[in-house]
């Protein structure tokens, strides 16, 4: 599941505006910064990324998740900071939804 989610995130990032994508160093793998002090995504790009990832996770994995909610925004460390933290957050949401 982790590899599939990593691929979904990376493909979704690559589908964003070319200027934003060209500034992102994917060679860092899961440590690739996305949003925040080290990231290259502005708030509009982050919203577009979230929508793309939510849609693709539902289409490819059959899982309905909501990434942009009060819980995500209130965390001390943003789940959107890096590709790895974003992946961890998605896995957490999927696991929680399956446990219900």
pLDDT in tens, 39-98: 999 999 999 999 999 999 999 999 999 998 888 878 888 999 999 999 999 999 999 999
How many independent structural domains does the chain possess?
1
What whole-number distance in Å separates Cα of residue 13 and Cα of residue 20? 9
Which token pair is 40?
């290259």
Which pLDDT score, from 0 to 100, does residue 71 have?
Answer: 83
pLDDT, tens digit (0-9, with 9 covering 90-100), for 25-43: 999 999 999 999 999 999 9
Which token pair is 24?
């992102």
| Structural domain range at position 41 | 2-99
């Amino acid at each position: 599941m982790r590899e599939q989610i990593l691929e979904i995130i990376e493909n979704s990032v690559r589908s964003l505006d070319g200027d934003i994508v060209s500034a992102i160093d994917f060679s860092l793998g899961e440590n690739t910064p996305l949003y925040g002090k080290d990231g290259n995504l502005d708030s509009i790009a982050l919203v577009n990324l979230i929508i793309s990832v939510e849609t693709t996770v539902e289409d490819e994995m059959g899982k309905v998740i909501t990434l942009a909610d009060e819980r995500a925004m209130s965390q001390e460390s943003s789940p959107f900071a890096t590709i790895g933290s974003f992946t961890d957050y998605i896995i957490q949401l999927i696991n929680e939804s399956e446990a219900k």
